[in-house]
Amino acid sequence: MLEVCFEDKHELKTLNLSGTNLSELATTIEELSSLNELLLRDCINLDAIPNIQKLTNLEVIDVSGSAKLAKIEGSFEEMYYLREVNLFGTKVETPELPNETKIHCLKRFTRADGKCFKGDTWSKIKEDIERDRSENASSSDAVVESQEILEETREIQSVEPRASDRTEKGDVSKERLLKVSKERALYKKTLSSLVDSEIPQEVLEINETNELDKDALANAEFVSFVDCTPERLTSIFNETKSVKGCWLRMCFDIKDLFAGVDEEHLKSLETLSITNLLSLETISSVGKLENLKNLSLDCCPKIKTIFPEMPASLPVLNLKHCENLEKVVVGVEVSTHTNLNLEVENCPKFNKIFPSPETASSEYVMVELSDAPPPQEC
């Protein structure tokens, strides 16, 4: 059955078989060339995973809680997009981790014994692992930072992906939904962050070189751009007519999103998920995004201010791992956006401003994010 399911699934993004009685995986798993997330948590009968070395687009590997699992075949060395590996509660030895990385975000490796190593690069994590081994061998008291594996560790994030595709409401790490019951088909192709219904939607996937049918492009409602140049993004978007959801991941050279895209092609856009756009500085075409309702921004290290002015209809904004982000709109405090549901994670320069009980309603006090009250529901 698994052999059949893995065939002709080259577009599959997430494989989630967590909590099943699975005892083995077919070797044809290596054909899932587009796979971003491999989730096999709490598969208590699984003792080995066949060679996954060819799955170079993997971002997340989570096999935590699979107590019998003793071996994952293949090296991770060429998985340059990998950001999280969780081996907690298994018998798997530390694998060969990536030699380099092509994404800008915090990486995390959780060893089988539960010790967690974190760093901006895999080389830093590998150094910490080796140091820990040496210190343990010499009975040193020093240890690398460790953490308990809590429920939050069990949730793969991304939003946001996810860079791919990763957000709570628009996160690329949750945009490929595959958790299914035994009675249903094992695989469904969907970007759950871009759809309002549970019915899977067709997503047109676009890279720098793939050929696209003009009619399919003109009729596409959901599009995914991966590793595209600004010129490719502009030319493709100017051929669309009714895009409602757009996911951009690892388009490293884009500085001003949608610069050069005609207004008529952006009017229908409702959901926008941006992950690992390392050069992104702004979204100046805000006036064209008149129906934007959900924006996710994840791992965009250069951006300081998102818009020159606030989109008229934006109610949901998710921000993650944008280390230099300070404001949503140039010269405007967040507190003035009274209808905005804002979620912020690991954006150290970003501050929310809330009314102070000691001040008039028109006055505000700056608070740290850790002390900030939850956003008010509209």
pLDDT at 227: 86
pLDDT at 138: 62
Q: What is the pLDDT of residues 66-80, one digit of tens each?
A: 999 999 999 999 999
One domain, residues 142 and 56:
yes
* Domain-embedded: residue 163: no
Q: In whole angstroms, what separates CA 116 from the centre of its chain?
A: 20
* Domain-embedded: residue 161: no
- Residue-wise burial string across 331-360, b where 16 or more C-beta atoms lie within 10 A, e elsewhere: eeebbebeebbbbbbebeebbbebeeeeee
Please compute the mean of the pLDDT values over residues 24-34 and round it to a whole number: 87
Confidence label for 8 from pLDDT (cuts 50, 70 and 90)? low
Please compute the mean of the pLDDT values over residues 219-247 and round it to a whole number: 93
pLDDT at 337: 67
Confidence label for 197 from pLDDT (cuts 50, 70 and 90)? very low
* Domain-embedded: residue 236: yes
For the chain, what is the domain count? 2
Confidence label for 2 from pLDDT (cuts 50, 70 and 90)? very low
One domain, residues 250 and 125:
no
One domain, residues 190 and 330:
yes
pLDDT at 55: 93
pTM to 2 decimal places: 0.53
- Range(s) of the domain holding residue 104: 1-156
Q: What is the pLDDT of residues 288-301, one digit of tens each?
A: 898 999 999 988 98
- pLDDT over 90 (residue 25): no
CB 38 within 8 A of CB 58: yes
* Domain-embedded: residue 130: yes
* Domain-embedded: residue 166: no
One domain, residues 142 and 279:
no
Confidence label for 362 from pLDDT (cuts 50, 70 and 90)? very low
One domain, residues 194 and 294:
yes
Q: What percent of the chain has pLDDT over 70?
A: 72
- pLDDT over 70 (residue 112): yes
* Domain-embedded: residue 377: no
Q: What is the pLDDT of residues 331-354, one digit of tens each?
A: 777 667 667 888 998 888 886 544
Please compute the mean of the pLDDT values over residues 81-104 and round it to a whole number: 92
Instruction: Work out the mean pLDDT of the chain and round it to a whole number.
Output: 77
- pLDDT over 90 (residue 157): no
- pLDDT over 60 (residue 218): yes
One domain, residues 290 and 343:
yes
Q: What is the pLDDT of residues 116-153, one digit of tens each?
A: 999 999 999 999 999 988 887 764 444 444 444 444 44
